Amino acid sequence: MTSITGGRQALVRLGRLRRRAFDRVIRLSVIQLGRPSQLSWAQRRLTIIIVLAPVVAWSCSLPAGAAFSPWTLTAVVIFTVFTAIRPDSLAGLSTVLFLGWYWFAHVSTHTGDPVSPWTLAAALSLLAFHTATAARATAPDPADLDQAFWRRWTRRVAIIAAATAGVWGLTAAMASEHPGREGLTLAALAVLIVGAAYARWILTRGPTKT
């Protein structure tokens, strides 16, 4: 009898601790969200992108063939809010993995086009999300980011977006030409990625000392 009571008390304590931890997280989030004035204009813009981009990626799944699922949308919003509050944390990775799982589980590739244009749109949204999160984590909340920063990051995003569009185009072409032979497609893409990395390294390395 004593052990049952002790176990119940331990469970009650555990429950209280969990509630406290949850309350603390929620309180912190509310406090952070209630202080938008601490963010500089640059950081506010990035925060908006962080919050909107995953929702856009999720929305792309609907025309791509997924059924509407309110709880997944809620989960995406929660993940993005946490990422916006703590950009330099694992919340961003959780958002990416959740979106990947959602796309894998809810978007069927067998019924329609295996790589629809909506896939490209979702990939670009993920790119925007990752870039905004990374950029936001480079400086504190009240920091103003200069023009050179915006020019550099915009140029880079454009390069990656173009490469992603290339990957999408190649994948779509291969999937339509050789349905069911995705292995070949993947091998081609791997070569493309490695080639891009090599080209980048060639372009950015310093002059050879003689």
- Which residues form the interface with other proteins (CB under 8 A)? 40, 64, 87-90, 92-93, 96-97, 99-100, 103-104, 107, 109, 114-116, 119-120, 122-124, 126-127, 130-131, 133-135, 137-140, 142-146, 148-149, 152, 156, 160-161, 163-164, 167-168, 171, 174-175, 180, 182-183, 185-186, 189, 193, 196-197, 200-201, 204, 206
User: CA-CA distance, 156 to 162, in Å (whole number)?
Assistant: 10
Helices (H), the chain: 2-33, 41-60, 70-85, 91-106, 117-136, 147-177, 182-204
Return the number of the residue (32 or 40) whose C-beta is nearest other proteins: 40
Return the number of the residue (68 or 104) whose C-beta is nearest other proteins: 104
Return the number of the residue (76 or 92) whose C-beta is nearest other proteins: 92
User: CA-CA distance, 135 to 7, in Å (whole number)?
Assistant: 48
Backbone angles phi, psi at 67, to 5 degrees: -85, 150
- Report in angstroms how near the CB of residue 70 gets to other proteins at its nearest: 22
Return the number of the residue (14 or 193) whose C-beta is nearest other proteins: 193
CB atoms within 10 A of CB 83: 28
- Report in angstroms how near the CB of residue 51 gets to other proteins at its nearest: 16
- Report in angstroms how near the CB of residue 82 gets to other proteins at its nearest: 12
Query: What is the CA 51 to chain-centroid distance, rounded?
Result: 10
- Report in angstroms how near the CB of residue 202 gets to other proteins at its nearest: 10
Which bin fits 180, alpha (ψ -120 to 50), beta or left (φ > 0)? Answer: left
Helices (H), 61-146: 70-85, 91-106, 117-136
User: CA-CA distance, 85 to 79, in Å (whole number)?
Assistant: 10
- Report in angstroms how near the CB of residue 55 gets to other proteins at its nearest: 15
User: CA-CA distance, 45 to 97, in Å (whole number)?
Assistant: 24
Return the number of the residue (34 or 180) whose C-beta is nearest other proteins: 180
Return the number of the residue (12 or 190) whose C-beta is nearest other proteins: 190
Amino acid making up residue 187: A
- Report in angstroms how near the CB of residue 196 gets to other proteins at its nearest: 7
Residue whose C-alpha is closest to residue 76's, from 103, 36, 37, 44: 103
